[in-house]
Amino acid sequence: MTRLLPPGEVGRAAALLREGALVAFPTETVYGLGADARNPRALAAVFEAKGRPRFNPLIVHYPEAGAAFAEVAAEGRARTLAARFWPGPLTLVLPRRPGCGVDLLASAGLETLAVRVPAHPLALALLRAAGVPVAAPSANRSGAVSPTTAEHVLEGLGGRIAAVLDGGPCPVGVESTVLDLSGEEAVLLRPGGVPVEAIEAAIGPVARRAAAVEGGEGLRSPGLLASHYAPGLPVRLEAREAAPDEALLAFGPAPSGAAVTWNLSERGDLAEAASRLFAGLRWLDAEGTRRGCARIAAMPVPRTGLGLAINDRLARAAAPRPGLLHPQRRP
């Protein structure tokens, strides 16, 4: 049985992590499924609980930049970004240092490691109390919609993990930005909570090379699989109107006609939209299924700032899944 721990039981959650158990906890982005990153059996349990392919690396979380940079080689750009954005929703992929204590399973056997310092006060308290690096992918079944509340975690992983540390809703609502700094060129692997424009203002140009992949071999960070963050209903992108058999994910003024509507932000605010994205997909999936809807229709969202991350998640939610007729657009 999975225990729901109130914020005051950080010490108990930390003890469970040190014992090799799995504990979900809140970050400013989404809830993470935490495991001791030095413990290969605990890491294997993460993959088992999520049904996650083992070629997909994990992000390792630390309470402060010094602890992270003790295990990865941080050059000037990394230190500049850490000073500017940590704690915060930015993950850096950097070369592992000799003697790095994180098990290779966390990085899918790569000689690089994805690291970050989360901004959520409860996450930081847990990391300090645990005293170990904590690998933590999103606390959901692999490929499903990411969780932004403790209740979401229990819906997907209840009975599969030891505990959920309840910190309320996550304020950012989309995962961290992932930036590869392991080579000469800075490469955006996944847009997220820190806009790429802000990163470029700090360190200069960033290449946008990564694309969603089907097979997964050679992934350098989490969140790069083509089909990911997917609800049960198919998702139609760039919807300008909604049919009676559609559940509408709206942004700004919403057209009428949909069976049910969730508005990310009636005023067109991207930060509000990001914070409501995964909760909206979950609600529309459940309510739309209950009402017999054929799909979720998603209205356009601007591709700037946090909108880049929102569009990335929607594109992956709409990607075809094996064995599923998954129309993305109406004729």
Q: What tokens appear for 270 in the block?
A: 């991207």
- Residue 225 pLDDT grade (very low, low, confident, very high; cuts 50, 70, 90): low
pLDDT of residue 227: 52
pLDDT tens by residue, 81-102: 999 999 999 999 999 999 999 9
pLDDT of residue 256: 94
Please confirm whether the linkage preceding 87 is cis (ω < 30° from 0).
yes
What is the average pLDDT score of the chain? 90
Q: Who contacts 301 (Cβ-Cβ below 8 Å, separation ≥6)?
A: 251, 264, 270, 273, 307, 310, 311, 314
- State the average pLDDT over residues 66-84: 97
d(CA 243, CA 297): 9
Using the predicted structure, report yes or no on whether residue 135 has a pLDDT greater than 70: yes
- Say if pTM beats, i.e. exceeds, 0.85: no
Using the predicted structure, report yes or no on whether residue 313 has a pLDDT greater than 50: yes
pLDDT of residue 224: 56
- Residue 219 pLDDT grade (very low, low, confident, very high; cuts 50, 70, 90): low
pLDDT of residue 303: 92
Using the predicted structure, report yes or no on whether residue 25 has a pLDDT greater than 60: yes
How many Cβ atoms sit within 10 Å of the Cβ of residue 195?
18
pLDDT of residue 322: 54
Q: Are strands 59-61 and 163-165 parallel, antiparallel or unpaired?
A: unpaired
pLDDT of residue 15: 98
pLDDT tens by residue, 165-216: 999 999 998 899 999 999 999 999 999 999 999 999 999 999 987 544 444 4
d(CA 72, CA 313): 28
| Residue that is written with structure tokens 């709206």 in the block | 250
Using the predicted structure, report yes or no on whether residue 312 has a pLDDT greater than 90: no
pLDDT tens by residue, 104-123: 889 888 899 999 999 999 99
Q: At what angle do helices 10-18 and 121-130 cross, to 10 degrees?
A: 50
Using the predicted structure, report yes or no on whether residue 150 has a pLDDT greater than 70: yes
Using the predicted structure, report yes or no on whether residue 23 has a pLDDT greater than 70: yes
- State the average pLDDT over residues 265-290: 92
Using the predicted structure, report yes or no on whether residue 316 has a pLDDT greater than 70: yes
How many Cβ atoms sit within 10 Å of the Cβ of residue 165?
27
Domains by residue range for the chain, with CATH:
3-203 (3.90.870.10), 235-318 (no CATH)
Go through 200-233 and write b for each residue having 16 or more CB atoms within 10 A of its CB, e for each that does not.
eeebeebeeebeeeeeeeebbbbbbbebbbbbeb
